[in-house]
Amino acid sequence: MPELPEVTTMVNGLKDNVLGRTIIDVWSDAEKIVKKPNKFSDFKKQIIGRKIEKIERKGKVILIILDKNRTLLVHPKMSGHFLFGKWKKEGDSWKPKKKSALEDPMNRFIHLIFFMDNSNMLAFSDLRKFARIELWDTSQLKNSEMLNRIGKDALEISLKDFTSVIGKYKKWKIKPLLMNQKEIAGIGNIYSDEILFRAKINPFREAGSLKKEEIKKLHQSIKVILKKAIKVSGSSISDFRRIDGDKGSFQELIKVYGHQGKKCSKCGGIIERKKLAGRSAHFCPKCQK
């Protein structure tokens, strides 16, 4: 699932390629991805002719702000990602017109295309088709359930607010707490493992057991790991690709996630993988206490 660094990478790519452009047409073979309005024909009618004025991120949600009081909300969910380029239809599939990273197999699940006024295309590839897209009156965004469920941004949360979250959920294990989107938005399975490893904190620790200095170190690690991941365009361990179709490269910097059975880069101990709150926790039992 795209986490904060991957969604930020998408937003940066969108800003570089479609900001200021006007949507002249839209196509889909998976119309149910669009949840609002209910009918795709209404969605198409409302979005054609709209100019892209601003692009933002809130948690793991992308906000594409259009002219004439319209905003497109996009939650990539498990496997959604935007692609920018030019394609041609061949049978039931869209093929890139030029040889490029867009030919990567993970970019072939195109289910939505926005045609731009400069002959370029903005495609949305989603292997699992779990993504959620909504078109809102911008003035009514305050009523969006999707946005109202999002907590403080993981990159922006202050130490004071982070400490308050720790105190509010004292009995929670620290890994699932970091992934609680209602309190701290943007951290998922990969980055929670990497953040906890850097902070030398065991993912099975109860939040209430953390000392003041550990909380400070953990808060710092959130910023360091996420910023490092953004710098290298996120992780492409599975489905995620940048808007040009290429991979991010944070997977080359990962220390514990997916490294079960390998030696810890810090102490030489063996990385373990255990189930925690329905997810996998990867950690070094020697380094992380």
Catalytic positions, please?
2-3, 60, 279
Q: How far apart are CA 214 and CA 197, in angstroms?
A: 12
Q: How far apart are CA 187 and CA 59, in angstroms?
A: 9
Asked if 198 contacts 265 with a C-beta cutoff of 8 angstroms, the reply is no
> Omega before 105 cis (within 30°)?
no
Q: How far apart are CA 84 and CA 203, in angstroms?
A: 38
Q: How far apart are CA 197 and CA 193, in angstroms?
A: 6
Asked if 74 contacts 55 with a C-beta cutoff of 8 angstroms, the reply is no
Asked if 286 contacts 272 with a C-beta cutoff of 8 angstroms, the reply is no
| DSSP letter assigned to residue 264 | P
Residue given tokens 């990962």 in the structure block: 254
